[in-house]
C-alpha cells in the first residue's frame, strides 16, 4: 500500500485526502510541519505528499510553492480542489449567543492561512484576543485540548473537533463562503485516484527569462497564444538569487503528450528561456458526498 505524507491529523489536508483518495487505498502518515511532509517523500519514507498550494481568496501559499521550486524535486502527479469550512472550537459548551461565547476567549490558535481567511470574523467577534500561529489546524485543536482552558480556542475543521473532543462554538466563520483550496499530490511516480472524475490534464512549468531581454515576456506569452494554449495561472516569483530577478510559475491547460505544448516550450527555450516542467497531471473535480 502506497504511503502518503500530509499535515495532520485533524486538518483540511487530511479531510481533503480522505475525500479524494479514500481511507483504505492509501496509508496516511501525519506530519506536524510542511517541511516534514516534503522531506518524508524526498527521503523515501513515503511515496507521495499532499500539499496545499493555493486558496480562493488568499492566493498562492508562498512557502509551499518555494519548497516545490527551490527545495525539492518532486513532480506534481495530481491536483484537486476542496471546499474549506472553518469552525471555532473550544473546550466547553458555554453561553447561548456567539457574543457570550467569544467574550471569554483570550487566545485563538490556528494555521496562519486559516487566520487570514477569518479576518472579518476575528475583527467583529474577537478583536481583543491574542492570535497564535501553529504548523497546522489539527495541531491548533490538539493544543487547545491539551491546555484545557475555556479562554483558548482553535480555528479548525469540524473533524479536528471530533478528533479531540472539542465543542463547536461557531461554524463556517471564514470571511467568504465560496472558499476553496487547491491541493497537489507530489511524488516520483504517477498515480490514479480511485473512483474520481478527471476534469482535464494540466502541466505546470517555471520559466526564467534571459537577463535584460526586451520583449521577452511578450515572446513567452505569444508562444502559447498563437497556438491557442490556455494559461490558467501565471505568477512572477523571486528567484532568490539576486534582488529584482524573477521567474514565472505557469499552469497550462494542456498535456505534454500533445503536439502543441512541447513545441511551445521549445520555442521559448530557443529565445534563451530556462524551462522546468514541475509536472503533467490530471485535475480531479470535487463531488460532494450526499448522505442518505
What global pTM score does this model have? 0.88
* pLDDT at residue 95 in the model: 65
Q: How far apart are CA 68 and CA 230, in angstroms?
A: 23
Cα separation of the two ends of the chain: 30
Q: Are 126 and 108 within 8 A, CB to CB? A: yes
Q: Are 135 and 111 within 8 A, CB to CB? A: yes
Q: How far apart are CA 7 and CA 37, in angstroms?
A: 7
Per-residue pLDDT 10s for the chain (292 aa) are: 899 999 989 999 999 999 999 988 899 999 988 999 999 999 999 999 999 999 888 888 888 999 999 999 999 999 999 999 999 999 887 666 778 778 889 999 999 889 999 999 999 999 999 999 998 899 999 999 999 988 999 999 999 999 999 999 889 999 988 889 999 999 999 998 877 788 899 999 999 998 766 778 889 999 999 999 999 999 999 988 888 888 999 999 999 999 999 999 999 999 899 999 999 999 998 877 654 4
Q: How far apart are CA 22 and CA 227, in angstroms?
A: 38
- CA geometry: angle 229, 230, 233, nearest 5 deg: 135
Q: How far apart are CA 139 and CA 11, in angstroms?
A: 8
* pLDDT at residue 150 in the model: 86
Bridge partners (DSSP) of residue 233 are 251
Amino acid at each position: 500500500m502506497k504511503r502518503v505524507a500530509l499535515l495532520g491529523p485533524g486538518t483540511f489536508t487530511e479531510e481533503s485526502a480522505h475525500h479524494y483518495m479514500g481511507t483504505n487505498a492509501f496509508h496516511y502518515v501525519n506530519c506536524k510541519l510542511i517541511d516534514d511532509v516534503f522531506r518524508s517523500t524526498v527521503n523515501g519514507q513515503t511515496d507521495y505528499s499532499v500539499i496545499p498550494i493555493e486558496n480562493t481568496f488568499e492566493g498562492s501559499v508562498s512557502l509551499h510553492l518555494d519548497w516545490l521550486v527551490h527545495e525539492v524535486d518532486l513532480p506534481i502527479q495530481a491536483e484537486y480542489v476542496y471546499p474549506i469550512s472553518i469552525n471555532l472550537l473550544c473546550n466547553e459548551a458555554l453561553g447561548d449567543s456567539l457574543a457570550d461565547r467569544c467574550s471569554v476567549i483570550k487566545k485563538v490558535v490556528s494555521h496562519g492561512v486559516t487566520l487570514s481567511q477569518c479576518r472579518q470574523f476575528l475583527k467583529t467577534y474577537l478583536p481583543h484576543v491574542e492570535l497564535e500561529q501553529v504548523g497546522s489546524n489539527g495541531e491548533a485543536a490538539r493544543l487547545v485540548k491539551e491546555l484545557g482552558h475555556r479562554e483558548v480556542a482553535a480555528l479548525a475543521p469540524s473533524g479536528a473537533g471530533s478528533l479531540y473532543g472539542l465543542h463547536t462554538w461557531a461554524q463556517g466563520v471564514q470571511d467568504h463562503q465560496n472558499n476553496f483550496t487547491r491541493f497537489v499530490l507530489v511524488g516520483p511516480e504517477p498515480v490514479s485516484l480511485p473512483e474520481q472524475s478527471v476534469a482535464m490534464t494540466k502541466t505546470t512549468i517555471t520559466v526564467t527569462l534571459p537577463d535584460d531581454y526586451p520583449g521577452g515576456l511578450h515572446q513567452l506569452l505569444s508562444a502559447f497564444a498563437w497556438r491557442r494554449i490556455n494559461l490558467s495561472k501565471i505568477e512572477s516569483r523571486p528567484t532568490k538569487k539576486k534582488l529584482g530577478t524573477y521567474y514565472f510559475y505557469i499552469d497550462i491547460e494542456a498535456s505534454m503528450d500533445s503536439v502543441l505544448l512541447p513545441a511551445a516550450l521549445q520555442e521559448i527555450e530557443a529565445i534563451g528561456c530556462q524551462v522546468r516542467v514541475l509536472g503533467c497531471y490530471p485535475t480531479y473535480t470535487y463531488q460532494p458526498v450526499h448522505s442518505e
